[in-house]
Amino acid sequence: MKKSCISNYRKLLLPLALSLCVTAHAQDAWVATRTHASLQNTGSQVVTLTAAHHPTIEAARVSELESGKPMHVSLSLNLRNVTELETFLEDVNNPHSPLYQQFLTPEQFKARFAPTDDQVKAVIAHLTAYGFHHVEVASNNMLVSADGNAAAVNAAFHAQMKTFTFKNKQHYANGADVTVPAALGEIVDAVVGLQDYAKPHTLMHRASDKSMIAAAAGEVAHNPTDFASIYDAGSTPTASKTVVGIITWGDLSQTISDLATFTMANHLPTVNTHVSPGSAGTLAVDQNAFSEWNLDSQSIIGISGGVKQLVFYTAVNGDSQDSGLTNATLMAAYNKAVTENVAKVINVSLGGDETAAHNDGSQAADDKVFAQAVAQGQTFSIASGDEGVYGWSNDPTEGAQGYVANGNGVVQIDLSHYSVEEPATSPYVIAVGGTTLKTIGSKTWAGETVWNEGLSYVDETNGDFNERLWASTGGVSLFETAPSWQTRVLGANVTKRQLPDVAFDAALSTGANIYLQGQAQAIGGTSLASPLFVGVWARMESAHNNTLGMPARNMYIHFNKHKAPLHDVVSGNNGYEGHGYNAKVGYDNTTGWGSLNISAFDSYITKYW
């Protein structure tokens, strides 16, 4: 019926045709999705953006988004047999289950749990009826992406798209909860890509005049190859049998060139690299981000001793004015790593506001992708964040003044208001926090404390001279239910996902000397910590013939009883001015269980898993 409606107005301009279609079907039943309004009218002169810190903007600065504004959306579809899937994920990682390590292929997962082809056809029909084009269906049927414009989005989803200025940039967001026809109500879970003011950012800390921290005794920056000795790889095999992935965005030419410089300088074999775009589209060049992928790739190779292949799963250009990244194109990159099912371990050095991700549906959409990864025996390792307990803000340090002015927005600051970052909040990933590492010389482990460098510029490189806290993000998810393996070990009162799970070096003063355009530069952050875990876990997978799968369940159960592989971090705090969590013996919300001794961890897996 909607298709004929569009055809009736084929001679009209599309925005007008869509408007008439919506009017004609105003009486049709439409139902809610998980994607809620990103803009809330909180007063006659104020509009609030949906995020954990409730930033406000002047209502006068909000207007209708131009109807012809190009938009790329990705519809996340509901899984089938969810209860059966949760049971399988427990069994496939339980050494006492007959299903242990009986991982699924992507084809098997699709047949048992993914949306059906008929459900996908219904979604495609809805999109094409409202003028969307370049419709792309992921091979697992979980994502249906399409290009359109603001008028099409408004008509197809009742989104009421708006535009506004925030933090000195023009942004867009949906002003209404997203709905779909009732026939699609049990199929479409969320429509991702309708806001661009809150999306994941890189989690690295680069040196600057302001941020150079006076190193304490035993604190030195490291060649990435040092970490294999520091964390005691010993005779543990390298990761030469294991394919590793890195989630990125943009063009990877410079990163691959710098990786070759790194391996040559350290007499390592040239790395077999491959770039796999997350979806159809172009790869925008982002000069501000390639240093992140350099940090990821060189740190992984340094601590792992080398991998079978390094695959860059890169998000395509969804927004040419802001690094090509949207939640929709980033989610497609996650999904590509899963549907290809080539990389056993995948690094994600990105994080963003959990409340915004929950509100726009991307948190739940990401969870589905990560759940498939677990079913297939893949492990996503995700940096927990660099803001300490203030994952909701890049500027959480102005408590005395009560606010931070950011362009045309004002962020209210409450130092007792804690939050963590998505996607590290997912119960289907390993969340990696940060430590400050002490060594004897440059290669012998001598201790670790919670990474907390205090205040420094938000982003001097890009001219943001607000100060913020740089520390290991950890705490409690506002929305994600605690996985069974956390509640079982940490206690029945643990009902929400706790972060992080483990931690590795993240301090700028003890971080990695990375090649950037041929020159070495020190970089820290949990964007270093996560790749270090990736390299360690890739070694474990290679040592055990790539049969281990996602380790969270077994790490929690065994780490609670046997501490041999652990460097338990027992000192430090991840807050500011008396706030935050304190390190303690055993698990805590600063560094999780702590860091790992590689050779002891390998022996431990052989004995207990």
Residues in the annotated binding site: 568-569, 586, 588
User: Which amino acid would we find at residue 28?
Assistant: D
What distances in angstroms separate CA 426 from CA 365, 423, 549, one per listed residue?
A: 10, 6, 16
Instruction: Please state whether beta strands 56-58 and 46-49 pair in parallel, antiparallel, or not at all (unpaired).
Output: antiparallel
Assign residue 475 a region: left if phi > 0, alpha if psi is -120 to 50, beta otherwise? Answer: left
E strand or H helix that includes residue 120 = helix 117-129
The shares of helix, strand and coil residues in the chain, as percent rounded to the nearest 5, are: 30, 30, 40
Residues with Cβ within 8 Å of residue 105, at least 6 apart in sequence: 341, 376
User: Would you call the peptide bond into 423 cis, given omega within 30 degrees of 0 as the criterion?
Assistant: yes
Number of Cβ within 10 Å of residue 105's Cβ equals 11
Cα–Cα distance between 388 and 391 in angstroms, integer? 7
Active-site residue (options: 219, 286, 292, 354): 292
Active site residue 456: no
Residue 362, φ and ψ in degrees, nearest 5: -70, -30
Give the rounded distance of the alpha carbon of 576 from its chain centre: 25
Catalytic residue among 384, 419, 527, 542: 527
Asked whether 293 and 255 are in contact (CB, 8 A), the reply is: yes
Beta carbons of 135 and 156 less than 8 angstroms apart: no
296 is catalytic: yes
Cis ω on the peptide bond leading into residue 95 (within 30° of 0)?
A: no
At residue 252's C-alpha, the angle toward residues 248 and 255, to 5°, is 100
d(CA 178, CA 191): 7
SS3 531: helix
| Catalytic residue (choose from 147, 296, 354, 386) | 296
Binding residues for Ca(2+): 568-569, 586, 588
Catalytic residues: 292, 296, 527
